[in-house]
Each structure stands twice: as structure tokens, then as C-alpha cells.
Amino acid sequence: MRTAGFVLAGGASSRMGRNKALLKSGNRTMIEIVVSAVREAAGSVTVIGPPEIYSPLGFPVFPDLKAGAGPLAGIETALTRTEAAWNLIVACDMPRVTPLLLRRILDAAEANPGAGCILPESAQGCVEPLCAAYHKSMLPSISLALATGVRKVTAALPLESITYLSLTDDSAFQNINTPDDWREAGGTR
């Protein structure tokens, strides 16, 4: 199965007060942690975000095609740029994701050839669309949703295209959005 990996890093980090992707945990930034996990799971990684910020880190970077339109626009950019059928797309603020967990998502994609996206679902029923696999065939639906003002990722996905993957490790999907989130996750400045 041909796959590609993408890390979304185009957000404003307004609740954090500074660029959360560049916060350090040990000797690596949050984005470096996520990039490493995505690359190991998918075999490649590209960052979707401002090249002027992320290009110096040494991996391919493309800006959002629709700046300021949120994560759905980042997914659209990734699906526009990709040549792979399945695309692992992960937000830069999930430093607890592991290559093993991400590989499970891609394995589910391979096992569900008719699916358009594989969305992890927690034991509590919470869905995580920013740590998921998207088939390139989802691009028209996502582009149409953006063109009509939809910004919520799950609202842009046709229900019949979604395959849910039950996962029990909810901590892997912890988003780091505020300084308190970062302290609780054990991050450093």
C-alpha cells in the first residue's frame, strides 16, 4: 500500500500564546516528536505550515492553500500535494502519538479498501480527525466543504466514507493547546 505522512502545523497557537509546535520536550520540539512518529509509520513526512518557520528544521514544508481556514484546509493541502492513496495526517500538538499507534491506523486503511477515511475513536466515543488516515479520493468532498464555509473536519466527511477504529489509548490523542496542557504533559520551555 502506498502511503504518505503529513503533520499539520499551520495554526496560530493563540491559546498557548506562542508557537506550540516549537515547544521542547527534552531535546526535541513537539513538531520533531510528531514528525518522527509519522515518518516511521508512513515512510515519509511533509509538514503543512509556514515554510519560513519550519523549513529550517530539515523536512519538506508546504503552506496551506487556504491560509487561516483551519485544519480542514491543511488536510486539503495535504491531499492536493500527495501522490499516495492513503495519507496519515496528524496535528503537530500530539506529542504522545507513537509509530505503533499510527501504523495501526494505516493498517486499518489497508484492511478497508472502500473507506475514504479511518478515524480513531476513543473508549468514550470521542473521534480524533487530526490523527487519522485520509484517502486521496476525499479531496473533492473536503474542497467542496471548504468552498461552502464548512470548517469542522468531521462535518466535511461524507458519513458513508468514514470507518471508525476503536482505540483504547486515549492519552495518545492529548492535544497540547495551553500552557497548563504543556505542563501536565511534562514539557519544558
Residue 81 backbone phi and psi in degrees, to 5: -80, -25
| Residue 185 confidence (pLDDT) above 90 | no
**pLDDT at res. 16:** 43
Which top CATH class is 3-184? Answer: alpha beta
| Pair 32, 1: CB distance under 8 Å | no
Tell me what the mean pLDDT of segment 75-101 comes to. Answer: 94
**pLDDT at res. 69:** 86
**pLDDT at res. 68:** 85
Cα angle 55, 39, 50 (rounded to 5 degrees) comes to: 25
When pLDDT is cut at 50, 70 and 90, the band that residue 103 belongs to is: very high
When pLDDT is cut at 50, 70 and 90, the band that residue 22 belongs to is: low
| Residue 8 confidence (pLDDT) above 60 | yes
| Residue 177 confidence (pLDDT) above 60 | no
Tell me the angle at which helices 71-81 and 139-147 cross, rounded to the nearest 10 degrees.
Answer: 140
* Distance from the first to the final alpha carbon of the chain: 39
**Across 6-10, 78-82, 102-106, least confident range:** 6-10
Instruction: Please name which of 108, 107, 92 lies closest in space to residue 162, comparing C-alpha atoms.
Output: 108
